[in-house]
Chains A and B, each alone.
Chain A
Amino acid sequence: MFLKKGFYFFDKAFQGIRQNPFINFINFGTITVSLLVLGTFLVIFFNLNRVLDKWRYESHVTVYLYDSISFDNTSDIKDRIAGFEEVERVTYISKKEALNIIKEALQIYDNSFEGLEVNPMPATLEIQLKKKFLSSTGVESFVARIKIFKEIKEIQYDQEWIKGFSAFFSLFQIGGLAIGVGLLLATILIVSNSFQLGVYARKEELEIMKLIGATDFFIKVPFLLEGVFQGLLGALVSIGLLYGIYQVVIFKVRPFFSIYIRELDPSFLPLDFIFGLTIGGILMGMLVSIVSMRKFLKSY
């Protein structure tokens, strides 16, 4: 019985689509474009977030030690720092190793540095914090606590500029969210306007149905399905388009970008975002049909 009724409603919904193919196409198109714009935002935000997280997780706290401290003292301070609950790992880099690293980085394989009487590089401790302490505040409070060690000459941490960047990014995100919400509301309004044309085209029929005993539910469900169908199709097509555009852009842009950020490893939206967009499209279609019928079904 339930199944039969379900088929009936689907049948009615498709009948409605067949009766007003143009309106349905416009609605589907509007939803598609709107979700495409929204999806583009999401891809950008998602990837910026990934980069930010990557930087954050790879960020170190670098402690420069005074040249004067002895080897014993060095391993002592290394142990003490390793004892902090935030610390995942501490790596000691001696003056000599530091010099080799810089040579390698500068791609100097000759003896340019040999002439130096003293090694200018300080010994350092590279501190990797545990993931859950890698927020700006977590890093800052850790740094404040190790500052007091007298062996430490200077502390540097990437978090300083990551913090600045994420502040800017949050602002960007809030702005994006506001634009996204505005866009969705505008879409719902626009689409429900044309959706109403479809409802009004069948106004007489619906009024007659009410007069001969149809419930509001019975009248609403096919329209609801029509809206859901528009939203679902819009979501799926916009995701497909988004993926196509993404591939083209990545293909064109990647070589250019990789000069600057070698490990920039862009990614398309993960499944839960895709799922979210699809549900968003469906909800949008439902809202559209609800808004469109609100006025209509008030009378007896």
Chain B
Amino acid sequence: MIQMLHVHKTYSNGQKALIDVSLKLDKGEFVYIIGPCGAGKTSILKLIYCAQRPTKGMVLFGDKNVARIRKSRIPYLRRNIGIVFQDFKLIKTRTVFENVALALEVIGATITDIQKKVWKTLSFVGLYNKSNEYPIRLSGGEQQRVAIARAMVNNPLILLADEPTGNLDPEMTVDIIDLLDKINIRGTTVLVATHNPDLAKNKRKVFTLEKGRITNG
């Protein structure tokens, strides 16, 4: 479903973030990318949702090389991708409900459709009774759930989660990973980037990233 082929990314300041990275994700898989801070995990995710373009190599989404996608097509690509950002990127002036609804608003969903899907998703992530709260009034774990809810509300083909447990205590971490598992079981491909090797223990598919290179199979 997603395939990177000999991808290099050098930022404009000369920083080599990715060196000859190749990886493959099949439909329905739950995949981890682990590596220390600065290894290039976020860069890989950004190449997938086209916030950055590779310096060299191909990034295939389905059979489309998104490395060469036209700028005007990028929004439509992103509608197939749910993104959970490292810093959540929730809007402070919007309630939980409105934050989640935004993902449907921007694709032109109807109000009834938005109501139905947002409530369903909020109860799925366990935030049904926090819908009117503003993000700052929520705990880190709850904010992470809002971010996940927004990423999954329009049923994307793939969910990208960047350090989804980065700021959470171990208990919350387990909750969030369980939630991501539930999403994966429903059929969504999930890609998690993390610096925490414990998360990837006993997992079927793990890519290890070090200094921009993939060091395992």
Binds A, one of B33-41, B102-110, B164-172: B102-110
Residues of B within 8 A of A213 (CB): 75-76, 78-79, 103, 106-107
> Which residues from chain A contact B52 at a C-beta distance below 8 Å?
300
- Is B106 a contact partner of A218 (Cβ separation < 8 A)? yes
B150:A300 contact, CB within 8 angstroms: no
Which one of A52-60, A153-161, A201-209 contacts B? A201-209
Decide: B105 and A8 in contact? CB cutoff 8 A: yes
Residues of A within 8 A of B93 (CB): 205
Contact between chains at B71 and A212 (CB < 8 Å): no
Q: Could you mark each residue 100-143 of chain B with 1 if its beta carbon is under 8 Å from any beta carbon of chain A, else 0?
A: 00110111101100000000000000000000000000000000
A4 to B110 CA separation, bound complex (whole angstroms) = 8
Closest Cβ of chain B to A206, distance in Å, is 10
- Distance of A209 Cα from B105 Cα, bound (Å): 9
> Does B48 reach chain A (CB closer than 8 Å)?
no
Partner of B106, one of A4, A214, A300: A214
Contact A212 to B106, CB < 8 A, known contacts A205-B91, A205-B93, A300-B74: yes
In the bound complex, residues from chain B placing their C-beta under 8 Å from that of A300 are: 50-52, 71, 74
Contacts of B103 in A (CB 8 A): 212-213
Q: How many A-B residue pairs have CB under 8 A?
A: 50
The interface size of chain A toward B, counting residues with CB under 8 Å, comes to 16
Residues of B within 8 A of A214 (CB): 75, 106
B108 A212 Cβ-Cβ under 8 A: no
* B108 in complex: contacting residue of A5, A209, A216, CB < 8 Å: A5
Question: Which of A5, A8, A209, A215 has the largest number of chain B CB atoms within 10 A?
Answer: A215
Contact mask A46-77 → B, CB, 8 Å, 1/0? 00000000000000000000000000000000
Instruction: Check A212 against B74 for contact (C-beta < 8 Å).
Output: no
What separation, in Å, do the CA atoms of A216 and B111 have in the docked complex? Answer: 21
Residues of A within 8 A of B205 (CB): none
- Binary interface encoding of chain A residues 203-239 relative to chain B, with 1 for a CB under 8 A from any of its CBs, else 0: 0110011111111101000000000000000000000
0/1 interface trace, chain A 181-212, chain B, CB 8 Å (1 if under) = 00000000000000000000000110011111
In the bound complex, CA of A218 to CA of B103 (Å): 13
Q: Is the C-beta of B49 less than 8 angstroms from some C-beta in chain A?
A: yes
In the complex the two chains form, what is the Cα distance from A200 to B74 in whole Å?
Answer: 22
Chain A 1-41 against B: per-residue CB contact (8 Å), 1 yes, 0 no?
Answer: 00011001000000000000000000000000000000000
Q: Which residues of A contact B107 (CB under 8 A)?
A: 213
Q: For residue A7, which residue of chain B has the nearest CB?
A: B111
Report if A209-B102 is in contact (Cβ < 8 Å); known contacts: A300-B50, A300-B51: yes
**Bound complex: CA of A214 vs CA of B101, how far in Å?**
13
Q: Is B206 an interface residue (CB 8 A)?
A: no
- CB nearest to A208 among chain B residues: B89
A18 CB to closest chain B CB, in angstroms? 12
The docked-state distance in angstroms from the alpha carbon of A69 to that of B150 is 102
Decide if B91 touches A212 in the complex (CB within 8 Å).
Answer: no
Given contacts A5-B108, A8-B105, contact A212 B150 (CB under 8 A): yes
Residue of A4, A8, A204, A213 with most chain B CB atoms under a 10 A cut-off: A213
Q: How far is the CA of A300 from the CA of B54 in the complex (A)?
A: 13
Q: Which residue of B lies closest to A300 (CB)?
A: B51
Contacts of B146 in A (CB 8 A): none
Does the CB pair A211–B78 fall under 8 Å?
A: yes
List 8 additional A-B contacts (Cβ < 8 Å) besides A205-B93, A211-B49. A204-B89, A205-B94, A208-B89, A209-B102, A212-B102, A214-B106, A216-B72, A300-B74
Between A and B, 14 residue pairs with Cβ closer than 8 Å are A4-B111, A204-B91, A205-B93, A211-B51, A211-B78, A211-B85, A213-B75, A213-B76, A213-B103, A214-B106, A216-B72, A218-B75, A300-B50, A300-B74
List the 10 closest pairs (A to B, CB-CB), nearest first: A214-B106, A213-B79, A213-B78, A215-B75, A212-B103, A213-B75, A208-B89, A205-B91, A213-B106, A209-B106
Interface residues of B (CB under 8 A from A): 49-52, 71-72, 74-76, 78-79, 83, 85, 89, 91, 93-94, 102-103, 105-108, 110-111, 150-151
